[in-house]
């Protein structure tokens, strides 16, 4: 993934600021996946991404005139995406509670037998996701950006407006916390199995 | 102690940092040599490297599965069932059909200009009937083979007002029925299509 704002982006941003719709369409095409990653890193919840990302691009269209430094495009876009994700996260948290209740009520009915390995893999995946979601946001976001699509420290730093050293420190701490959380989860599971 | 400061046993902060750099592909040649020396004489460091490597692999798999699994058009386990697949197909077909017949209305009746013959199926009693000739309502090459009715009634569609609105990734099309009692709202998103009839005396 390229770092910084390339010349093509600058021209597109300038055109979009002049109201050229096709320029925005091209920006969407170029950066939609990136925005999705940012939203996912913020919410750690994939179910609401489509709507949130749509809202982000509407805001981009409405506010692109306020972007004074096109070289800061990624940082600006990151802030819009992150804020939209946080706003949506508060709404989703309430919905998730009711959905969980609904899922639990259905669990008794959905009794399709599955191979043991699939169940174990699914359980493992669920535990890891829960541990990642349990990380403090300042560690979780760079960790997800790094592991979802192998973003470099520089790319994460550029997006989050952080020095590379800080990104590195946060990733070290994220791994440390994750290791401890998974060990706790293992211990709990073994105690539960006895 | 704050769990963030809880170091893995037998490994100092510098070594842990170098291990993370290695796993993240950010390690320099000099750092790599230093880490290799440490790993050679420190079993705890080797253990931590393997542990972090495993956690990274599990995290990447879990995150990518979660991210891609839910953001694809149909999420297994969340939206399933033959009826939904059929309904989804029909809804998508409706949007495809509507779009294939409506581009000339995009800018309003005054700008109507057809680039080819458009045949409209229909008869005066309003029944759904096949169109004359060999016209299929589905665009050639679309590959869509619906299980429902193969023909739809598009009588006078191009003479009725059609409302369209769109934003960056979503488009809405309002198509009034012939009796103007119902407006079908077609909402097209990048991955889904929804049709909602609104009934009233318009």
Distance, in Å, from the CA atom of B49 to the CA atom of A183, rounded to the nearest integer, reads 16
Distance, in Å, from the CA atom of A182 to the CA atom of B11, rounded to the nearest integer, reads 19
* Residues of B in Cβ contact (< 8 Å) with A47: 70, 75, 78
- Do the Cβ atoms of A47 and B70 come within 8 Å? yes
Distance, in Å, from the CA atom of A90 to the CA atom of A84, rounded to the nearest integer, reads 10
* Residues of B in Cβ contact (< 8 Å) with A148: 60, 63-64, 67
Distance, in Å, from the CA atom of B34 to the CA atom of A72, rounded to the nearest integer, reads 37
**pTM of the entire structure?**
0.57
Contact of A31 with chain B, judged by CB distance below 8 Å, is answered with no
**From the CA of B60, how many Å to the nearest CA of chain A?**
5
Distance, in Å, from the CA atom of A148 to the CA atom of A44, rounded to the nearest integer, reads 11
Domains in chain A: boundaries: 1-112, 113-194
DSSP state of B139: P
DSSP state of B171: E
Section B169-183 average pLDDT: 69
CATH topology of domain A1-112: Rna Polymerase Sigma Factor; Chain: A (1.10.1740)
- Compute the count of residue pairs across chains A and B with CB atoms less than 8 Å apart: 103
**From the CA of B134, how many Å to the nearest CA of chain A?**
37
Distance, in Å, from the CA atom of B4 to the CA atom of A188, rounded to the nearest integer, reads 20
- Distances in Å between the Cα of A8 and the Cα atoms of A13, A16, A23, A36, A57 are 9, 12, 10, 21, 18
Do residues B8 and B16 make contact, with C-beta atoms less than 8 angstroms apart?
yes
- The Cβ of residue A124 has, within 10 Å, a number of other Cβ atoms equal to 14
The least confident of B86-90, B94-98, B156-160 is: B86-90
Report the residue from A57, A148, A176 with minimal CB separation from B64.
A148
Grouped pLDDT means (10 residues each) for chain A, 194 residues: 70 91 91 92 84 91 90 90 84 60 53 62 88 94 92 91 94 95 79 68
Digit-coded pLDDT (tens) for B41-85: 999 999 999 999 999 999 999 999 888 765 433 333 333 333 333
- Do the Cβ atoms of A58 and B167 come within 8 Å? yes
In angstroms, the first-to-last Cα distance of chain B is 69
Which residue in A29, A63, A56 sits closest to A42, CA to CA?
Answer: A56
The least confident of B65-79, B132-146, B168-182 is: B132-146
Distance, in Å, from the CA atom of A145 to the CA atom of B24, rounded to the nearest integer, reads 12
Distance, in Å, from the CA atom of B8 to the CA atom of B3, rounded to the nearest integer, reads 11
- The Cβ of residue A169 has, within 10 Å, a number of other Cβ atoms equal to 18
CATH number at A113-194 = 1.10.10.10
* Percentage above 90 pLDDT, chain B: 26
Distance, in Å, from the CA atom of A144 to the CA atom of A162, rounded to the nearest integer, reads 16
């Amino acid at each position: 993934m390229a770092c910084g704002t390339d010349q093509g982006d600058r021209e597109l941003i300038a055109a979009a600021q002049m109201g050229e719709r096709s320029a925005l369409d091209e920006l969407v095409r170029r950066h939609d996946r990136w925005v999705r990653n940012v939203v996912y890193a913020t919410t750690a919840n994939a179910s609401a991404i489509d709507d949130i990302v749509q809202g982000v691009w509407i805001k981009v269209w409405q506010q692109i005139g306020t972007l004074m430094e096109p070289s800061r495009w990624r940082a600006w876009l990151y802030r819009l995406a992150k804020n939209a994700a946080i706003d949506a996260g508060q709404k989703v948290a309430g919905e998730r509670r009711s959905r969980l209740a609904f899922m639990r009520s259905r669990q008794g009915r959905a009794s399709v037998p599955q191979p043991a390995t699939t169940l174990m893999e699914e359980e493992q995946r669920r535990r890891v996701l829960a541990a990642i979601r349990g990380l403090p946001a300042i560690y979780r976001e760079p960790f997800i950006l790094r592991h979802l699509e192998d973003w470099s420290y520089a790319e994460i730093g550029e997006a989050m407006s952080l020095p590379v050293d800080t990104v590195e420190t946060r990733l070290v701490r994220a791994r440390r916390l994750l290791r401890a959380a998974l060990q706790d989860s293992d211990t709990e599971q073994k105690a539960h199995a006895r | 102690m704050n769990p963030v400061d809880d170091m893995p046993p037998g490994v100092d902060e510098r070594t842990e940092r170098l291990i993370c750099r290695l796993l993240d592909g950010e390690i320099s040649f000099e750092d790599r040599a230093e880490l290799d020396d440490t790993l050679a004489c420190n079993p705890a460091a080797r253990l931590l490297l393997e542990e972090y490597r495993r956690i990274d692999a599990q995290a990447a798999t879990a995150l990518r599965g979660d991210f891609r699994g839910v953001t694809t058009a149909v999420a297994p386990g969340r939206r399933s069932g033959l009826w939904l697949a059929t309904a989804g197909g029909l809804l998508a077909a409706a949007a495809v059909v509507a779009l294939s017949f409506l581009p000339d209305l995009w800018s309003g009746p005054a700008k109507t200009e057809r680039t080819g013959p458009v045949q409209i199926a229909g008869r005066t009693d309003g029944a759904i009937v096949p169109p004359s000739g060999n016209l299929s309502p589905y665009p050639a090459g679309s590959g869509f083979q619906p299980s429902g009715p193969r023909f739809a009634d598009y009588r006078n569609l191009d003479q009725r007002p059609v409302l369209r609105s769109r934003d960056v990734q979503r488009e809405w099309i309002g198509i009034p029925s012939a009796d103007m009692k119902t407006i079908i709202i077609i909402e097209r998103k990048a991955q889904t299509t929804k049709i909602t009839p609104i009934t009233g005396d318009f």
